[in-house]
Amino acid sequence: MNIKEGREYRALQDFSLVHREEGSEEYRVKGTAVVFDTPTVIAEYDGIKYCEVIDRHAFDECDLSDVIMNYNHAGKVVARLRNKTLALDINERGVDIEANLGGTSAGRELYEEIDGGYVDKMSFSFTVRESKYDSTTHTRTITKVKKLYDVSAVDIPAYNETSIAARSFFAVEHEKELAALEQARRRKRLIALTY
């Protein structure tokens, strides 16, 4: 996978093929790239699970001007919003996609790999405009997505269904929580010594 600086990647969902008639030239796939308001464990440090939720309205102001579909976030473009071979449906549940992969040989090959079960997951790459963090529940809620770059067919989800950027966010939060606990212990010790 080609990791681009500042982008976050998530791989959470499965593909389904749109049934095609015998002899048809249709190479359509459907999937759900994003599910809203569903906590997902992104990382675990010292037995503490850190979750992420994508808010139902996170895509309301998102730049969707030229989303592409490709394989493992790299390689040839197999569908694109701009040429209407990729369609996005942002609904109450999440972001659904439908793509016609018949326009390129790489797309048709990818369709056959999805059909054969070799490639069965979806991922998306994006940048975050706004998020909030609840240190009690250890949950990051992404409230605004700045730009959706791509939805990709992936064979092995990167870093166990997440990305370096997300893990870094939670690692920093974990360090802050440990530092706060240590400071509270020191304060308690000093108070005990003064009495």
Q: What amino acid is encoded at 62 in this protein? A: C
What is the average per-residue pLDDT within 75-92? 94
Give the per-residue pLDDT at 159: 37
Instruction: State yes or no: pLDDT of 55 exceeds 80.
Output: yes
Q: What is the pLDDT of residue 48?
A: 84
Q: Which of 73, 82, 116, 80 is nearest to 98 (CA)?
A: 80
First to last CA, the chain: 59
State the SS3 of 146-172: EEEEEEEEECCCCCCCCCHHHHHHHHH
Q: Has residue 149 got a pLDDT over 80?
A: yes
d(CA 184, CA 21): 67
SS3 category, 43: strand
Q: How high is the pLDDT of residue 92?
A: 93
Would you state the structure tokens that stand for residue 24, as one six-digit string?
């048809």
Structure-model confidence comparison of residues 44 and 83, the more confident one: 83
Q: How far apart are CA 145 and CA 14, in angstroms?
A: 22
As beta bridge partners, residue 145 has 128
117's enclosing H/E stretch is none
- Indicate the range of 35-39, 51-55, 60-64, 173-177 predicted with least confidence: 173-177
**How confident is the model at residue 157, as a pLDDT?**
60
Report the pLDDT value the prediction gives residue 131, as an integer from 0 to 100. 93
Per DSSP, the chain holds a count of helices (H) and strands (E) of 2, 10
Question: Do residues 54 and 142 make contact, with C-beta atoms less than 8 angstroms apart?
Answer: yes
Of the given ranges (111-115, 166-170, 183-187), which has the lowest mean pLDDT? 166-170
* Mean local confidence (pLDDT), 103-127: 88
pLDDT of amino acid 162: 41
User: With bands split at pLDDT 50, 70 and 90, how would you rate the model's confidence at 64?
Assistant: very high
